[in-house]
Chain A
């Protein structure tokens, strides 16, 4: 089975711009989660989607949004980029998102905001 894929792998943007990141889960997985990783804050949960519905959202401003499509692919969008949004964005998938399931991660998207 193919793993979780994320595109693009690297991105450079300037302050004020917006960005869209894409994630394709493992085939059959319906739960997709997004995490932000920075040296200062570590790994932080952004949001989780299941069957096109957001089930949980982390403590991030409204500039961070996401969605999930009927084929379980997910996108996250960051509007009005700030320097502090520079981070590694990781997407993970699992079948149903329960505590008994392993989340498998993609390679991540490295976003640099200048």
Chain B
């Protein structure tokens, strides 16, 4: 079974509108971290936001917020007031604590295109 599932290969949004990128995960660990990264065409992975499994509040970082629903195992990224520069690939990732994982497991990504 896939550990991280991003069901939207591509998304389009109008500039200044909000957009939600979906992410569901699968783990049996109690302690884990969920991350969202942005990858522009240049290739660099840019960290956006982190949510810990024990965090009771949804994480927010500027225009980015994470809609964390633990029981449903979902961690959707919400980008408010989209900008043209937000056009990029977005990856959801998880880091588990069980065993000696010490690795990020990534979803396949969602390509976001912001239209003017």
Contacts and interface: CB of A to CB of B under 8 A. Distances in A.
Contacts of A17: none
Interface string A52-94: 0001101000000000000000000000000000001010100
Interface in A21-75: 31, 33, 35, 42-43, 45, 48, 50, 55-56, 58
A103 B97 CA distance: 14
B72 interface: no
Chain B residues touching A, range: 20 to 34
A108 B41 CA distance: 12
Contact of A55 (B31, B37, B102, B104): B102
B93 to A, nearest CB: 8
Contacts of A110: 43
Contacts, number: 68
Interface in B1-46: 29, 31-33, 35, 37, 42-46
Interface string B60-104: 000000000000000000000000000000010001110011111
23 contacts: A31-B102, A42-B108, A43-B91, A43-B106, A50-B102, A58-B103, A88-B43, A90-B45, A92-B45, A97-B102, A99-B29, A99-B31, A99-B95, A99-B101, A101-B33, A102-B35, A102-B50, A103-B47, A105-B37, A105-B46, A107-B42, A107-B43, A108-B45
Given A42-B108, A102-B47, A105-B47, 16 more contacts: A33-B104, A43-B106, A45-B104, A48-B103, A88-B43, A92-B104, A99-B31, A100-B31, A100-B33, A100-B52, A102-B50, A103-B47, A103-B95, A104-B47, A105-B46, A107-B43
